[in-house]
Amino acid sequence: MGSLGSRIQAASAGDAEAAEGSCASVGRGCDCRKRKRSSPCQCDSEGEEEDCLLNTPRRKKLKSTSKYIYQTLFLNGENSDIQICALGQEWNLHKVYLCQSGYFSSMFSGSWKESSMTTIELEIPDQNIDTEALQVAFGSLYRDDVLIKPSRVVSILAAACMLQLDGLIQQCGETMKETINVKTVCSYYSSAGMYGLDSVTKKCLEWLLNNLMTHQNVELMKELGVVVMEQLVQSSDLFVMQVEMDVYTALKKWMFLQLCPSWNGHIKQLLSDADNWICKRRSELGEEEAFLCTEQGAPFAPVFRQVRLQYIINDLASARILERDNILPQDWLSAVYKLQWFAMLRTEHDNDTGPQEANKDEFDVNSMRCGRKLAKDGDYCWRWTGFNFGFDLLVTYTNRFIVFKRNTLSQPCGGGKLVCSRSTGYQLLTLEKDQEYVVMNLDSRLLAFPLYVCCNFLYTSPASNRRTDAPEPESSAHSVS
């Protein structure tokens, strides 16, 4: 409180000195600095009389040059030397400003007939462009700053690309990256691909990878097409909640919504209705033909092909659901069963040579994707089950540490917008019996709950022919809060 008061007093004193200095400069003989200012100073009155004589207003706010140019030249069209017509509307503009646009610069500087015309009719081939978008695009040539609403950004981007306005294109891209959400991500992704904004495309994919499984949304699933869904499901960065079976379940719901877009129920009812729809189709088709082999189901085959089935058939209940649904062709399942069976036999008979070296590309394609939501701070312990060469990996979160432990003892185990993200990166671990390893230490200053923990594992046996009890998990884990 004392320091604040001192600063205020110092400012007041400075103002007083400035006033005194001004007074002394007007009338050198004035001794107003030596007495209290209880009565008006003669110097002040003389200054006021002089201001009145000159008829000069004291505190008039000047209009900035940019605002003046925008109002006078663009909105009012004063001294216009060219008229642009498009979509039934006219703009009285100026060639010197239009030349900031690569589109008009080329038109006016070349041997085109438009270079000597005073009225130009623009053809607008892009349906995303409307008169409001053109108004913003033309106006951006006359002012320093442009306000872009998220609801209008795609149209403005289309106009900016047509007119080759690099600055406006960049501003549209920044607006899109800052406003990605469940309602905008699909339109942004599509537009970014259409107009070549690679950074926006990447940002949209990152958002979808983090939120598709953790915050499932009916309208989003309806909008997601086959191509982008295939790209998401095949990615090792897909944030899978719980286990790989949940990816298959999400795809069932997504496929149902693609085929029945008029469905309008609650997200909690979606799986039940999807199962009923699949059951009805199965009875119509008969038990012999898998749904993806039919004309109606074939377009979805590339997406379901990316599901990592080797981590689903290890669980009896999940394997039975796959058989019951009859969505996947039998040869897909037979191939996976065969691979897993032979892997188990080789391990059991000490005949598994293991990988020759760690391979990150193989890890990205074949790793087991698992996730967990920690609703609030506390101690958590869980395991993701499966064959995995009999390797039981225990995951613990306690005191901001995430710990992997190779568990051989009988131990009890229980268990939106991106705020921050931490990743361990690609690591190769070899764990002895009951050995534990700290894979991440989270900064308490950055933690915000709920906390989402996602781990990718690829279990491999040692590269030797002799029996060992220490398989090597190649792992990558990251947490998102």
The per-residue pLDDT for range 81-136, each reduced to its tens digit, is: 999 999 999 999 999 999 999 999 988 887 777 767 889 999 999 999 999 999 99
pLDDT score for 181:
95
Average pLDDT in the 418-445 region?
A: 68
Give exposure, 197-222, as e/b (b: 16+ Cβ within 10 Å): beebbebbbebbbbbbbbebebebbb
Q: Look at residue 231 and tell me whether its pLDDT is greater than 80.
A: yes
Dihedral pair phi/psi, residue 453, rounded to 5°? -110, 125
How far apart, in whole angstroms, are the C-alpha atoms of residue 85 and residue 36? Answer: 69
pLDDT score for 144:
83
Average pLDDT in the 190-217 region?
A: 95
pLDDT tens digits along 366-422: 777 877 777 777 777 766 555 555 556 667 777 767 676 665 554 444 435 555 566
pLDDT score for 287:
65
pLDDT score for 198:
97
pLDDT, greater one: 400 or 150 = 150
Split at pLDDT 50, 70, 90, the class of 242 is: confident
How far apart, in whole angstroms, are the C-alpha atoms of residue 305 and residue 307? Answer: 6
pLDDT, greater one: 217 or 475 = 217
pLDDT score for 293:
93
Q: Which long-range contacts (CB under 8 A, 24 or more apart) does 112-121 make?
A: 117/82, 118/81, 118/82, 118/83, 119/82, 119/83, 119/85, 120/82, 120/83, 120/84, 120/85, 121/85, 121/86
Poorest-pLDDT segment among 5-14, 159-168, 318-327, 391-400: 5-14
> What's the token pair of residue 290?
């898998």
Split at pLDDT 50, 70, 90, the class of 26 is: very low
How far apart, in whole angstroms, are the C-alpha atoms of residue 171 and residue 159? Answer: 13
Q: How far apart are the first and last CA of the chain?
A: 38
pLDDT, greater one: 16 or 226 = 226
Q: Look at residue 297 and tell me whether its pLDDT is greater than 70.
A: yes
- Average pLDDT over the chain, rounded to an integer: 78
pTM above 0.85, yes or no: no
